[in-house]
Amino acid sequence: MKKLVLLACLAVAAGANAQTYPTNRPISIVVPFAAGGPTDRVARDLAEAMRKAIPGSNFVVENAAGAGGTIGANKVAKAAPDGQTLLLFHVGMATTPVMYRKLTYKPLEDFEYLGIVNDVPMTLIGKPQLPANTYRDFENYIRANAGKLNLAHAGQGSASHLCGLMWQSAVKLNESMTTIPFGGTAPAMNALVGGQVDVMCDQTTNTVGQIEGGRVKAFAVTTARPLSGHKTLKDYPTLQEMGLKGFNLTIWHGLYAPKGTPAAITKILNEGMKKALKDPDFIKKQEGLGAIVATDNRVTPEGHKAFVAAEINKIRPVFEAAKAFAD
């Protein structure tokens, strides 16, 4: 009898949570990177679409950058589980538990998974002064200049770090280039455009404008299939076409709430997110950045969590082989 009463109370509480959510307070989407970067752009587009999808809501983006995304992720993991603080994180949700030995949160245990938002292809790009114009010439140039060139990335655990590691491993160039970490995507890109570094592999959300402006040279995309529907990237080959069999890397973004957020609230957020992903304006903005809006089972909490668990297992051997660990 007591058990039935308890279950009834929980049901009433869940219903009350649903009726009072969203509140009149802004809902923060924490981006664990600096403003203006690729993940920040996705978050701001998503916040606008979710405002339209959830009546009475007001979503704002909050940047909490540092330590490869772990500062912002930890902030949300430790936040009150009331639906007022969310996290938008990319593939770093899978790289950080592999890379950091002393991670202050557990990605698979300390969050409620709300769904995957999109997949963002990567582009292999070089400074404008590079003499190569095709991927084949580019790879040959690097081999011919082993030890003289450098590869930039946006910091340990970043999307560009992961892509650089996977590409170097696939083409067996691990000792041919010097890796240079930066404190974010913007300074890394600025160094590439300015010719201070030679090569970078970054998300299309950050590279398309630079490619279209002629400020960098593009050589290939990282998807399994060519991006034939994109006005700028349709002319570039995939790394798989260039002989790197099985190379397929997209940088996905997912939405999370602190562990313990009531099911009634996570349901509202998940349903709102799924509506936002069908918003024509959101889809158009994402397509303009080269991103692919998620439509598969990963938009469900269960599918999202299973996907991240599989990504951790896929990424682990890449980081272990490169000894890319941090305290």
pLDDT 10s digits, 87-117: 999 999 999 999 998 899 999 999 999 999 9
The pTM (predicted TM-score) of the whole model is: 0.85
Residue 323 pLDDT: 80
Strands 199-203 and 111-126: antiparallel
CB-based contact 136:295 (threshold 8 Å):
no
Residue 1 pLDDT: 47
Angle at 225 between CA 290 and CA 137, to 5 degrees: 90
User: Based on the number of CB atoms within 10 Å of its own CB, is 131 exposed (0-12), middle (13-18) or buried (19 or more)?
Assistant: exposed
User: Based on the number of CB atoms within 10 Å of its own CB, is 245 exposed (0-12), middle (13-18) or buried (19 or more)?
Assistant: exposed
Closest by alpha carbon to 116, among 322, 320, 293? 293
Phi-psi region of 39 (alpha: psi -120 to 50; beta: other; left: phi over 0): alpha
Distance separating alpha carbons of residues 249 and 13, to the nearest angstrom: 43
Instruction: Please name the residue ranges forming H helices in the chain.
Output: 2-20, 38-53, 70-77, 92-99, 135-144, 159-171, 185-193, 204-212, 263-276, 280-288, 301-322
Residue 80 pLDDT: 98
CB-based contact 113:87 (threshold 8 Å):
no
Residue stretches of the chain with pLDDT short of 50: 1-16
Closest by alpha carbon to 304, among 273, 275, 327, 276? 273
HSE, side-chain direction, 13 A CA sphere, residue 119: 16
Distance separating alpha carbons of residues 149 and 142, to the nearest angstrom: 7
Residue 325 pLDDT: 81
Residue 18 pLDDT: 58
Closest by alpha carbon to 275, among 293, 292, 287? 293
